Amino acid sequence: MFLPVTINDMKARGWDEVDFVLVTGDAYVDHPSFGTAIISRYLESHGFKVAILSQPNWKNADDFKCFGRPRLGFLINSGNVDSMVNHYSVTKHKRSRDVYSPGGRTGNRPDRAVIVYSNRAREAYKDVPVIIGGLEASLRRLGHYDYWDDKVRRSILLDSKADILIYGMGERAVLEIAEALDSGLEAKDITWINGTCIKAKAADVQTQEDDVILPSFEDISTSKDAYCESFALQYRSNDAVAGKRLLEPNGNFYIIQNPPQPPLERDELDHLYELPFMRDYHPSYEKDGGVPAIEEIKFSITANRGCFGGCAFCAITYHQGREVRSRSKASIVEEAKLMTKQKGFKGYIHDIGGPTANFRHPSCKKQKKHGMCQHKDCLFPKPCSQMEADHKEYMDVLKAVRELDGIKKVFIRSGIRYDYLLADKDQRFIDELCKHHVSGILKVAPEHVSGRVLKNMRKPSVEVFDRFSEKYRAVNRKLGKKQYMVPYFISSHPGSTLDDAIELALYMKKTGFIPDQVQDFYPTPGTLATCMYHTEKDPFTGKPVYVAKTHEEKKMQRALMHFHKKENRNIVRAALKKAGREDLMEVLSR
């Protein structure tokens, strides 16, 4: 049974009131790939009554009153994606489709949805606690550069006027808040919970010995050096073991970020993913053609959380954290069995993975006791000597699922780290991958080939990608399979000059790797690359970083990655002329 979405649903359950109204910018999809489903079902499993207010009319507060006054509070997120990313392309043009809305229609949520929804909730019931969370709140929890305004914005906690902000994967934090509210505490007194941010008057704050005082909002708004310093301090404290309490001064207030929550351990993840999800969108959307986002994930299984890959352009490090945890084989197998009984299942599991599919455990033994290394990465610039690369358990999971009755094929689509794969002394995984888990084309993400750009991306050298490519081809030859590889590249990433874009074009010409799609770098909140984009510096070294910011140069770098298209010929020629490499026009035209 779906959770209540109307007051009639609420009354049909015999409820006179709900404990929480969970407000979301997405359509209501009760599937564990959606944060709304995870949080609501988790609270339900602990005895709390939750109603879902999905894509409310934000022009007034009427919809926020539809369940009556919630006993404990409003829980608010913008949906699975930041609302600004959801609405606008990298060129800041309005998107024509919203896969998280019924029928893919746009216009069902406002810009900066967390702020708008929070203010409407406060308007509906002035004294009811408002707790914000999800990706939009998590990545904007402190002062941050905003690409759409092209300025540093203050913590979303201030603009939303919420009481508490939950960052990261919020199950533990939301339960602790719910229990505190249920005990009779006021929201303003719930100040200690890990994985949360609060605001407090500076005069009322007693600093502690281990506190880290960040540069003030005023400083990071006016000084790029201060912005870099703040980012580096936040990055190094984003760890449940070594993380400190962070305080960001903002006028007469502090934004206080409590240390991160520890990641859920295996038994906790198993319990979470075994909750009674309906695994589909709410039936009220059937008349609109359903919710498109369900198609890719309906028959996919989340096997792990966290990522120690450390890619500069990815926000997972800031949101989920670098420590990896995974579900047990038994739990994953049970979910696969459940899928075989679902309507529409045709025998194909689209994915068993997560942020990085082939990560199953922490990268080394010391992390649980000492936390993640603050000044070094697990895979960059090369795999750490302490890293334990091991695919045995993942292979065992995949084998167990693909041998189930009713399963024809198990694919891996969430991406693998090929440098981690190559670091495993036991090379059986690539044989298993090619033999059983590729649907004809393997998508991989070298992202670029220029050493300078890859360094800023915190990705391995192109030679590592070449080694993997050759190994992939050799294994497929041995298996007698015609399977291909499509690489994913990013244009205009911080550090990429026209010369670097030309180097990439020549590499693609030489290897025949022509991408179907090209992604321009998109500066989204919370990433290292966005910090570089804004400051034009590496926040860890202070060294300058070249950033392509003009529309003209971005267009040139993008066109060079699709040099083979006739419609790009003139702009490719202009790019080569600007770089003094007109001699290459003939090479790229052959």
428 and 505 belong to one structural domain: no
341: Cβ contacts below 8 Å, ≥ 6 apart: none
Taking alpha carbons only, the member of 52, 39, 54 closest to residue 13 is 52
149 and 116 belong to one structural domain: yes
408 and 323 belong to one structural domain: yes
Q: At what angle do helices 329-339 and 392-402 cross, to 10 degrees?
A: 30
| DSSP-based three-state secondary structure for 20 | strand
The burial class, CB within 10 Å (0-12 / 13-18 / 19+), for 579 is middle
What's the pLDDT score for residue 43? 98
432 and 415 belong to one structural domain: yes
321 and 429 belong to one structural domain: yes
Query: Of the candidates 143, 172, 194, which is a domain's last residue?
Result: 194
CA distance 330 to 327: 8
What's the pLDDT score for residue 85? 97
356 and 488 belong to one structural domain: no
467 and 414 belong to one structural domain: no
pLDDT tens across the length of the chain (590 residues): 999 999 999 999 999 999 999 999 999 999 999 999 999 999 999 999 999 999 999 999 999 999 999 999 999 999 999 999 999 999 999 999 999 999 999 999 999 999 999 999 999 999 999 999 999 999 999 999 999 999 999 999 999 999 999 999 999 999 999 999 999 999 999 999 999 999 999 989 989 999 999 999 999 999 999 999 999 999 999 999 989 999 999 999 999 999 999 999 999 999 999 999 999 999 999 999 999 999 989 999 999 999 999 999 999 989 999 999 999 999 999 999 999 999 999 999 999 999 999 999 999 998 888 889 888 899 999 999 999 999 999 999 999 999 999 999 999 998 899 999 999 999 999 999 999 999 889 989 999 999 999 999 999 999 999 999 999 999 999 999 999 998 999 999 999 999 999 999 999 999 988 777 778 999 999 999 999 999 999 999 999 999 999 999 999 999 999 998 899 999 999 999 999 998 898 888 77
CA distance 174 to 544: 40
8-state DSSP, 305? E
What's the pLDDT score for residue 374? 85
The enclosing domain of 339 has a CATH number of 3.30.750.210
- Does the reported pTM lie above 0.75? yes
Structure tokens at 358: 């082939």
447 and 582 belong to one structural domain: yes
**162 within some domain:** yes
313 and 404 belong to one structural domain: yes
CA distance 326 to 400: 16
What's the pLDDT score for residue 585? 86
Structure tokens at 101: 């809305």
477: Cβ contacts below 8 Å, ≥ 6 apart: none
The enclosing domain of 528 has a CATH number of 3.30.750.200
**8 A C-beta contact, residue 531 and residue 491:** no
**2 within some domain:** no
**8 A C-beta contact, residue 23 and residue 65:** no
Query: Of the candidates 194, 226, 253, which is a domain's last residue?
Result: 194
482 and 390 belong to one structural domain: no
The enclosing domain of 138 has a CATH number of 3.40.50.2300
Taking alpha carbons only, the member of 530, 552, 579 closest to residue 227 is 530
Number of domains in the chain: 3
**8 A C-beta contact, residue 359 and residue 421:** no
Domain of residue 125 covers 7-194
Using left for φ > 0, alpha for ψ between -120 and 50, and beta otherwise, residue 158 falls in alpha
**457 within some domain:** yes
Query: Of the candidates 132, 166, 194, which is a domain's last residue?
Result: 194
Q: How many residues does the chain have?
A: 590
What's the pLDDT score for residue 377? 93
Q: Which amino acid is at 473?
A: R
**262 within some domain:** no
95 and 52 belong to one structural domain: yes
CA distance 486 to 413: 12
314 and 387 belong to one structural domain: yes
How would you classify the pairing of strands 196-201 and 253-257? antiparallel
Q: Is the dihedral of CA 492, 493, 498, 504 positive or negative?
A: negative
What's the pLDDT score for residue 21? 98
**58 within some domain:** yes
